[in-house]
Copies of this chain bind each other. A is one copy, B any other.
Amino acid sequence: MNVGLITIGNELLSGFTTDTNSAWIGQSILEVGAEITWHVTIGDQANKITAVLDQIPEDIKVVLVTGGLGPTHDDITQKTLFEYFGVQPVFDENYWNILNARMVKRVRVMPVINKNQAIRPDKGSVIPNNSGSARGLHLNNDRMDVFAMPGVPREMKDMMSSTIIPWIHDKTKSKIYVRTLRTTGAMESVLAEKMADVTEDTRPVTVAFLPQFTGVDIRLMCPEKNPLIEIEGKIRDKVDKYIYATGTVDLEEIVGDMLSERGYTVATAESCTGGLIGHRLTNVPGSSTYFLGGVISYSNDMKMKTLGVQENTLQEFGAVSKQTATEMAHGARDFFGSDLAIAVTGIAGPGGCTAEKPVGLVYITLVHNDTVWAKKFKFFTDRKLNNRLSSQVALNMVRIHLLNG
């Protein structure tokens, strides 16, 4: 099923708000056999909304609209859609009372401006809002069905999940199986080359590469489940070592699961990444059972004092060296008494580089029992990107080590 999407809001056009709703909507309807084939963003002006409604491509019979349903004067989506579909506004006394009762609970008085939140159409229906006051709308005529939702992500997602996606699924009666294989450690071109035999013919499965900063997601889609499983197997035969997770799971979650399963604890020693690895590990609920802590040692002094890095190591090899990274990892393990420790030292840029040690040079060492795994990387010139990549590689080293160990 082809679905149209209209996002309404001056702030989207002027770029002061980045539209994240549309990507979520695009993904979420794929799985019920529908896809966004046309997406328009316009400002909060009635005539523009009407013009766009008149331009909807022939092959689209279902249109989702987000934004402009709030109580302020900018929010003209409701009024415009009512006029377009020739429906009359009805004041919904019952809902108004519910809204007022909610406000009383919070010891506030409902502003009169909110009265339009209690308007419903005389034909069509409203979509309940479990997270806010503005209800959604479902209006239709012979040409199309339109669903209007607020632009607030939580409210939009709630309406999509509870009402609109089930409605679409009921019409399509179909299901698309989507499987995302998340990889890290190999560039898109490397993966593509390794998988060339498989991707030559994957019918009826479609395969797409989605490159990101810190890895490439391989997305498989198919109306049936079995061919998808078969192609996934063939892909895994070729590039399994790069696949760390499926779906939307992050690397830190996988690493956390692996540590938990094995009953290991981990500690970190971070120089250039400044706490990012610890932050990512602790983003996972329950991480306190395996993450004992970390030291952010930005100065040489602290590398020596806290982590026991030897002064002559720093003098002979420098703070950004394999030797220092390895001593930092040992130091962190001793300091926290953890099973594993991971240490990162590097030159994130833009400053701090020398002829021998360019921006982007990063050393990472993992220690565990007798294992000392030290690696050298040459990343890029962008500070934030280098730190992000360093944290990804460090977590991936933990994953690979646990997988093999």
A residues with a Cβ closer than 8 A to B are: 11-20, 22-28, 30, 35-43, 48, 51, 55, 57, 208, 210, 217, 219, 268, 270, 272-279, 281-283, 285-288, 291-299, 301-302, 306, 335-336, 348-352, 383-384, 387
B274 contacts A296, C-beta separation under 8 Å: no
Question: A26: shortest Cβ distance to chain B, in Å?
Answer: 3
A302 contacts B23, C-beta separation under 8 Å: no
A19 contacts B14, C-beta separation under 8 Å: no
Contacts of A351 in B (CB 8 A): 285-286
- Copies of this protein, total: 2
Instruction: Point out which of A13, A22, A219 has the most chain B C-beta atoms below 10 A from its C-beta.
Output: A13
B39 contacts A27, C-beta separation under 8 Å: no
B292 contacts A294, C-beta separation under 8 Å: no
| Complex CA distance for A374 and B279, rounded to whole angstroms | 23
24 contacting pairs across A/B (C-beta < 8 A): A13-B37, A15-B23, A16-B219, A17-B23, A17-B210, A37-B48, A41-B41, A268-B275, A268-B296, A270-B275, A274-B279, A274-B291, A275-B278, A275-B296, A279-B279, A283-B383, A283-B387, A285-B349, A288-B299, A292-B301, A293-B296, A294-B296, A295-B295, A295-B296
Known: A37-B42, A37-B48, A287-B298. 6 other contacts (CB 8 A): A12-B39, A13-B35, A15-B28, A18-B18, A295-B296, A306-B335
B285 contacts A279, C-beta separation under 8 Å: no
Q: Which of B14, B26, B288, B348 is within 8 Å of A13, CB to CB? A: B26
Q: Which of B13, B37, B335, B349 is within 8 Å of A43, CB to CB? A: B37
Are A274 and B274 CB-contacts (below 8 A) given A208-B16, A296-B268? no
Question: A186: shortest Cβ distance to chain B, in Å?
Answer: 17
- Residue on B nearest A51 in the bound complex, by CB: B57
B36 contacts A13, C-beta separation under 8 Å: yes
Are A384 and B283 CB-contacts (below 8 A) given A42-B37, A275-B278, A302-B293? yes
